[in-house]
Homo-oligomer: A and B are copies of this chain.
Amino acid sequence: MPNAAPLTPQQAADSLCAIGRRFHARGWVLGTSGNLSVVTCPDPLRLSITGSSVDKGALEPLHILDIDDTCAVHGGHGNPSAETLLHFEIVRRRGARSVLHTHSVWSTLLSDSHGLDGGIAVEGYEMLKGLDGVRTHEHREWVPIVPNDQDMTRLARVVGSTLDRYPDAHGILLQRHGLYTWGASLPEAVRHIEILEFLFETIGRTATYGMYRSRGGQHGTAQDS
């Protein structure tokens, strides 16, 4: 999708609040976790981003910061999260206009269980077609998993090199931490979050059901003949 016309900081704040509340309702950004951003000017870079330690279930426009690429705050109350560096990295390497980061149960679970594999493959699902540029369910999406790190400069470097190594990836998992995805617009990034979270939940639940099937189980119950 071509990049959309940038939102103004005010539009960005309103839109990010609506998305933050929506994701909070789904349990994807509990406990002030997660951060959401939109590029309001690509050059010189201006980013609207949720401030640090904000309850996404009570997000108000004043919690959205208007920052430049030095993290100087030009609008909104509060401080940028240290993870803002990862947003910059993704904006620069992918030309993204929006970056969304969620902490869901299923992304945490898979990023943990598949961490030693360095990633998780998702393939064969119609839902994959909602990822930018994917035309068929016969697509294999490799979602890289990066070890978590409290040194944000180092983590941003690792995320950057991972983006370069997997140029077709639509998202990255931080181990036992959560998901980063992005898009050419906020709606595209929201779509990518919903698709990847859906697929992670589907993979997680299918594994349990598959265990049952692999034991010769017919669906149904003990009462079935």
A: which residues have CB within 8 A of B?
A: 22, 26-27, 30-33, 55, 57, 103, 105-106, 108-110, 112-116, 120-121, 124-127, 130, 135-138, 148, 150, 174, 176-178, 187, 190-192, 194-195, 197-198, 201-215, 217, 219-223
The 10 closest A-B pairs by CB, nearest first: A126-B177, A31-B195, A31-B194, A30-B194, A207-B212, A31-B130, A30-B198, A112-B221, A136-B150, A109-B206
Number of copies: 4
Closest to A204 in B: B209
Given A114-B219, A210-B221, answer yes or no on A150-B135 (Cβ-Cβ < 8 Å).
yes
Given A30-B194, A126-B148, answer yes or no on A109-B205 (Cβ-Cβ < 8 Å).
yes
CB distance from A86 to the nearest CB of B (A): 12
> Are the C-beta atoms of A221 and B206 separated by less than 8 Å?
yes
CB distance from A152 to the nearest CB of B (A): 12
CB distance from A35 to the nearest CB of B (A): 12
> Are the C-beta atoms of B220 and A203 separated by less than 8 Å?
yes
Closest to A22 in B: B57
B-side contacts of A195, CB under 8 Å? 30-31, 33
